[in-house]
Amino acid sequence: MKADPAVADFVLSLDDFTDRSLRTRIAGIALSRGNLDAADDKPLPLIRIEGARGQAHALMAIRSRVRLRVTGSVGDYSLSHGSRCEIRVDGSGGHGIAECLEGGAIGILGDVGHGVGVGMRSGTLAVYGHAGDRVGAAMMAGELFVRGNVGADCGVGMRGGTMVVGGDAGPRLGEPRGTGMIFLRGRAESLAEGMVEVPLRKRDELRLGVLLINAEIRGLAKDFRRVISETAWRQEESKVTGEMRPNWR
């Protein structure tokens, strides 16, 4: 994520607001600045959020076009159901972080628990530490990055979007049920049934390179492999060779 300027336009504290009143205050700031349409070229107001000490459900359903800089850590299910805003957390996160994200961009500098990005529908989510189990489960769309390691069952039920794992993965990685794509740099303890690791295609390498730059994650795209279903791999190979390779299993 892009570095924020040192001086925030507004400073708010979680200690001073209920969840609902904080959403209202943030929406009011966006409205006062006229940041309502994505086509606007006005800089988004920067709001520093203080008082983050691992509270659960913090900053849920924020859908205003603002930038939030959270100083501290957030708890379970925080940042869920949000869209349009850009959020940077200078700390860690609990379980269920950014569940059902609908848009915008979130960057978390520390580690997170289980179920990060579950049911993502759009947007970009980057974790610069490690993550637990079931990363990106039932993901529909969007881009999910974990610079470190992930736990078990990551990508289970994934129907779309892109997941990038910069470290190692636990058991049963994969099992997308649609067009979702998983890129892995480290080693997986095991893959889900029917999944295989295959090299990147040239177009995947170019695409991944751009994604890594946008997420400000260091590394070369060529160091990653794809994790896809064996059926999809057979179909790709048949298109390259012109041969039919049916899967009789």
CA distances from 40 to 37, 43, 230 (A): 6, 8, 44
pTM of the predicted model as reported, rounded to 2 decimal places: 0.90
Distance CA 24, CA 3 (A): 26
- Contact between 134 and 151 (Cβ < 8 Å): yes
Determine which of 115-119, 148-152, 201-205, 212-216 has the lowest per-residue pLDDT on average: 212-216
The CA angle 129-190-80, to the nearest 5 degrees, is 40
Q: Which residues pair with 48 in a beta bridge?
A: 11, 69
SS3 149: coil
Reported as a pLDDT band with limits 50, 70 and 90, residue 214 is confident
Pairing of strands 225-229, 181-184: antiparallel
Residue 52 is predicted with a pLDDT of 97
Reported as a pLDDT band with limits 50, 70 and 90, residue 163 is very high
- Contact between 121 and 98 (Cβ < 8 Å): no
Distance CA 47, CA 228 (A): 40
Phi/psi of residue 230, nearest 5 degrees = -60, -35
- Contact between 123 and 108 (Cβ < 8 Å): no
Q: Which is more confident, 216 or 55?
A: 55
Residue 249 is predicted with a pLDDT of 41
Residue 34 has pLDDT above 80, yes or no: no
Q: For the chain, which domains are there?
A: 10-241 (2.160.20.60)
Task: Name the nearest CA neighbour of 8 among 57, 44, 36.
Answer: 44
Distance CA 53, CA 209 (A): 35
Reported as a pLDDT band with limits 50, 70 and 90, residue 236 is confident
CB-based burial of residue 81 (10 Å sphere; 0-12 exposed, 13-18 middle, 19+ buried)?
Answer: middle
